[in-house]
Amino acid sequence: MTLYVSSLLIACGICLFAGVHAVLAGTTGKREPLNQAFGCLSLLLAGYLLLAAAIYQADALSLARQLIRLQLTLACLIYPAAVWFLGLYAELRQRRRWLALASLVFGALLVINLLSSNSVIYTQIIRDHAIALPWGEQVHDFAGRKSKLFGAYFLAKDAIYVFATGCCIALWRRHSARAWPLTLYLLIQGLAAVHADIVNRSGTQMVTFEALAFLALVLLMGDRLRLELSQRATLLTHNLEELREETRRRQQVESTLRHLAYHDPVTGLSNRLALRDHVQAALAVQHTGDHALILLDLDHFRIINEALGHDVGDMLLKAVAARLLAAAPAGSLVARHGGDEFALHVGLPSGTAPAAAAREIVRGMTATLTAPYTIGAHDLAVGVSAGIALLPGMAGDVDSALRQVAVALHRAKASGRNTAIIFEQLMQAQADRRLLLEKGLRLALERDEFELHYQPQLDARGRFVAAEALLRWRHPQHGLIAPGEFIPIAEETGLIHAIGRYVLHQACLERESWAAVHADARVSINVSPWQLFAQDFVRTVHEAVNTTRTMPRNVTIEITENALLHDLEDVAYKMRELASLGFHFALDDFGSGYASLGNLKRLPLHELKIDRVFVEGLQAGVRDPLVEAIINIAHEQQLFVVAEGVETGQQREALAELGCDAIQGYLICRPMPSAQFHHWLDQLPEPVDLPGR
Ligand code: C2E
Ligand code: CA
Ligand code: CA
């Protein structure tokens, strides 16, 4: 039974396996120095154990000599490798120095070993008696005469064990879990050394276990390293999990942020940014065919919002958004462009003219949107104005596409709302001018660029009864600009309030400058609906007459029918308050809007101004039933009737026949600046009776 030799060979196999495993364990990814050192050490120990087994089995002395020399060569490699490994294992700061020292000493011994005929520690090797082991196994034994370096070699070897013990102490000091396996190994190795010493001293023929003790080193250290590796793997898996969780959380936050960035919080539709990206992408792709960008605006939404509150406004916007989404053609993008504006980007079917196709789509959408809404207790109807930009058209980029569609929408709103208008190149120049005016308008008051012109009204007998104040803007570059062009801008930008105060004040001043003969004449002042809706309207008017010492009975406030479309009660209340102070109220442009005659009864009106369009067609001697009816109804309500835009004598005569109370128009004179108007007043001819009155 070759138990001893077999155990050496088995130990060799285990070391070989552990060595290969440790070396390979570090080959993927980052190489672990500790594993590499352990692997090298284990492989060297495997070789050492194999040679030990071979020596015990060697028959020939010459072979034994070679094997012993080879074994010592390996030993000279093993001890520096052990220093390398232990230095890393104990995480010594000076480990490189220790390794260098060990390499130097054992390197020298190794060279001498290779050069000497027997080995570094023996000058002569002879065969000893074979050793018979208790279990019947017999192994060869060899003895040698000590060389001069014998003592040095064993001293160096013992120094390595001292070093190992030092490492062990360092680990214990640090309370490292690595201390235990090293301690255990050193104990085993120590026991084996003591046993070998006893055997050597007693001279008994016995095998020693010093080589076999290396197996303890490989097994104990290997186990420790494996444990650490698996702990690290667990930690790594855990970290990986956390990292994944973190990534998932971040993605969630990112997607929420992205949603917020690209969606409108009120309606949930895509927002302006998303629309931009979408249109940009569509414009970037060549040969996509025709497409259109459509901007839909709810007419007078601002008034609903202000009158019924933002909650109702928001609910209306949501309802509009839902209808838009439902009605939008497949593949189109619906977005909230801001405020009460919605955008639709849509591909147009090929084969039809793009303009016709876009108009058809808008017609469908408008029909859906204008059906009545029930929001809470309110039944609401909205009008829709639409601007259309046909793409790619002239629009090279998304900015010009958006500009074009905005210009078209603005046009649609200006042309009486509830219409759709397709962008044309000419509109751009007009839009540019508008933008210029908008900028200039903010400074016009400060720069004193406004002036009032006055146009007189004469009664049927030719007597001067009133003058209407008409605003002009003397623009430094563009000359005199008519109110029709800038008043809408002032209304949209809210500047109308400041401008309106200026007009009230200036017109009252003018009225006070008239001669005493005109004591009963009034100044007519145009007031925008937005001024009327303002909370402080009554106070503003009051202030104007107070600071200028004007009599309220000399002031007529002209309001338009639009002012009556919303919250009639509020407007009527303010009017009554002012009327009780003596102010007169005139309903301007009558017949051009939607005001019902029924509404007139509920308002403290004194005067009705017939719109120019009715006057245009009048001819002397030819009856106009509509104008006749208007005048009759107005008279039934005790209203003073003024006809506007009277340009011809024929018209004047026709109006006189119908019993119109006063006329205003180019026939008498055009609106004039204050100085010129004064001159006109001075030259006023004696009143004459007009025919038919
Ligand atoms: P409106 O109140 O209907 O004023 C009458 C407009 O008809 C004036 O135009 C006047 O110049 C013009 N007109 C007078 N007689 C004739 C005529 O015989 N033939 C023709 N074709 N036109 C005639 P204007 O001055 O351009 O004012 C336009 C509109 O601007 C006014 O219409 C009024 O609504 C508004 N507006 C003028 N001044 C003010 C103001 O101070 N405040 C506000 N809110 N609106 C104003
Ligand atoms: Ca007027
Ligand atoms: Ca008018």
Give me the DSSP letters along 101-114: HHHHHHHHHHHHHH
Which atom of ligand 1 has the smallest separation from the CA of 589?
Answer: 3
Ligand lying nearest the CA atom of residue 664:
1
Residue at 674: amino acid letter: S
**Which residue's CA is minimally distant from atom 37 of ligand 1?**
470
Determine the Cα–Cα distance for residues 431 and 429; give it in Å rounded to an integer: 5
Q: Say how many Å lie between the CA of residue 454 and the centre of ligand 3.
A: 14
- Those residues with Cβ within 8 angstroms of residue 347's Cβ, 6 or more apart along the chain or in another chain: 288, 289, 290, 291, 329, 331, 332
Ligand 1: residue whose CA is nearest its atom 33: 526
Minimal-distance CA residue to ligand 1 atom 27: 483
Which residues of the chain have a pLDDT value below 70?
1, 26-30, 286-288, 592-599, 686-693
User: Residue 94: what pLDDT?
Assistant: 93
Which ligand 1 atom lies nearest to the CA of residue 664?
A: 15
Of 644, 648, 651, 668, the one to substitute when testing ligand 1's pocket (max ligand atoms within 8 A of C-beta) is 644
Task: Give the number of C-alpha atoms closer than 13 A to the C-alpha of residue 280, restricted to the C-beta side.
Answer: 7
Question: Residue 648 phi/psi, 5° resolution?
Answer: -125, 160
Q: Which atom of ligand 1 is nearest to the CA of 453?
A: 25
Q: What is the pLDDT of residue 596?
A: 62
> Which ligand 1 atom sits closest to the C-alpha of 647?
18
Q: Which atom of ligand 1 is found nearest the CA of 503?
A: 41
Nearest residue by C-alpha to atom 21 in ligand 1: 645
**What residue's CA is closest to ligand 1, atom 20?**
645
pTM flag (> 0.85) = no
Q: Which atom, in ligand 1's list, is nearest to the CA of 470?
A: 38
Could you tell me the distance, in angstroms and rounded to a whole number, from the CA of residue 613 to the centre of ligand 3? 10
Check residue 286 and give its pLDDT.
64
Question: Do 503 and 490 meet the contact criterion of CB atoms below 8 Å apart?
Answer: no
Task: Please tell me the distance from the alpha carbon of residue 597 to that of residue 576, in angstroms, as a whole number.
Answer: 18
pLDDT of residue 589: 87
**Checking phi first, is residue 148 left (phi over 0); if not, alpha (psi -120 to 50) or beta?**
alpha
Distance 680 CA to ligand 1 centre (A): 19
Q: List the Cα angle 322/326/330 in 5-degree steps.
A: 135
Nearest CA to ligand 1 atom 4: 470
Phi/psi for 468 (5° steps) reads -90, 130
Per-residue pLDDT, 300: 78
Q: Beta partners for 472? A: 451
Neighbours of ion ligand 3 (CB under 5 A): 588-589, 644
Among 164, 24, 196, which Cα is nearest to 84's?
Answer: 164
Instruction: Name the closest-CA residue to atom 17, ligand 1.
Output: 645
Amino acid at 303: I
Closest C-alpha residue for ligand 1 atom 42: 526
Q: Which residues contact 435 (CB under 8 A, 6 or more apart)?
A: none
Shortest-distance ligand to the CA of residue 470 = 1
CA 558 to ligand 1: nearest atom:
2
Starting from the CA of residue 671, give the closest ligand.
1
User: 635: how many CB neighbours lie within 10 A of its CB?
Assistant: 15
Tell me the CA–centroid distance for residue 615 and ligand 3, in Å: 12
The per-residue pLDDT for 625 is 87
The SS3 call for residue 645 is: coil
Please tell me the distance between residue 468's alpha carbon and the centre of ligand 2 in angstroms: 7
pLDDT of residue 205: 80
The predicted pLDDT at position 556 comes to 98
**Which ligand neighbours the alpha carbon of 532 most closely?**
1
Cα torsion 575, 578, 580, 582: sign? negative
pLDDT at 447: 95
Q: How far is the CA of 41 from the centre of ligand 1 (A)?
A: 106
**Which ligand 1 atom lies nearest to the CA of residue 525?**
41
Q: Go through the chain and tell me how many residues it has.
A: 693
310 CB neighbour count, 10 Å cutoff: 11
Nearest-CA residue for ligand 1 atom 8 is 470
* CA-derived radius of gyration, the chain: 54
Taking alpha carbons only, the member of 189, 187, 183, 181 closest to residue 228 is 181
Q: Please identify, by atom number, the ligand 1 atom nearest to the C-alpha of residue 455.
A: 14
In whole angstroms, give the CA distance from residue 538 to residue 531.
10
Q: Distance (Å, rounded) from C-alpha 686 to C-alpha 690?
A: 12
| Cβ count near 174 (within 10 Å) | 12
Pocket of ligand 1, candidates 449, 470, 540: which has the most ligand atoms within 8 Å of its Cβ, to mutate? 470
Identify the structural domains of the chain with CATH numbers, from first to last: 3-221 (1.20.1070), 272-423 (3.30.70.270), 435-681 (3.20.20.450)
DSSP secondary structure, 525-557, as one string: EE--HHHHHSTTHHHHHHHHHHHHT--GGGEEE
Asked if 212 contacts 7 with a C-beta cutoff of 8 angstroms, the reply is: yes
**Residue 30: predicted pLDDT:** 65
Nearest CA residue ID for atom 7, ligand 1? 645
User: In this structure, are residues 642 and 457 in contact, taking their beta carbons and an 8 Å threshold?
Assistant: yes
Calculate how far, in angstroms, residue 589's C-alpha sits from the geometric centre of ligand 3.
Answer: 4
Gap from CA of 457 to ligand 3 centroid (Å): 12
Which ligand is in closest contact with the Cα of 610?
3
- What residue owns the CA closest to ligand 1's atom 11? 671
| Dist. CA 496 → ligand 1 center (Å) | 16
DSSP letter assigned to residue 516: G
pLDDT for 287? 63
Name residues contacting ligand 1 (CB within 6 A).
Answer: 455, 470-471, 482-484, 487, 503, 526-528, 588-589, 612, 644-647, 665-666, 671
Q: What is the pLDDT of residue 561?
A: 83
Q: How many whole angstroms separate alpha carbon 177 and alpha carbon 171? A: 8
